[in-house]
Amino acid sequence: MSENKSTYCPVCKGPRFGAFCFRCGGPTIPATLECPHCKEQVSVISNFCSECGKPIQEQVKNFMAKELQRKPVQQVPGPEGAR
Ligand SMILES: [Zn+2]
Ligand SMILES: [Zn+2]
């Protein structure tokens, strides 16, 4: 519903709003991801989970790669949903 979700641009390395970066036009990713250890939402710019203190760099990297792959760079009309 709301388009004001916090996102993050892996190119400019900064917080953004919306699906695309206003600076580079690239696709952004959600600003938080789920900690694999404690399931807490942690920022994608963290190196460690603020809840459990475990390193999440690897998860962040995978998360970014996955999210960026999933994001359509061009605006192609496609089936949405299934989630
Ligand atoms: Zn950017
Ligand atoms: Zn954690």
Mean pLDDT over each residue of the chain, to the nearest integer: 87
- Centroid of ligand 2 to alpha carbon of 33 (angstroms): 10
Nearest ligand atom owner, CA of 33: 2
* Per-residue pLDDT at 73: 63
- Centroid of ligand 1 to alpha carbon of 37 (angstroms): 29
Nearest ligand atom owner, CA of 41: 2
- Centroid of ligand 2 to alpha carbon of 1 (angstroms): 28
Contact 24, 12 (CB under 8 A): yes
- Centroid of ligand 1 to alpha carbon of 17 (angstroms): 11
* Per-residue pLDDT at 77: 62
Domain boundary assignment for the chain: 6-70
pLDDT band at 43 (very low <50, low <70, confident <90, very high): very high
Taking the complete model, does pTM exceed 0.75, yes or no?
no
User: In angstroms, rounded to a whole number, what is the distance separating the alpha carbons of residues 28 and 6?
Assistant: 9
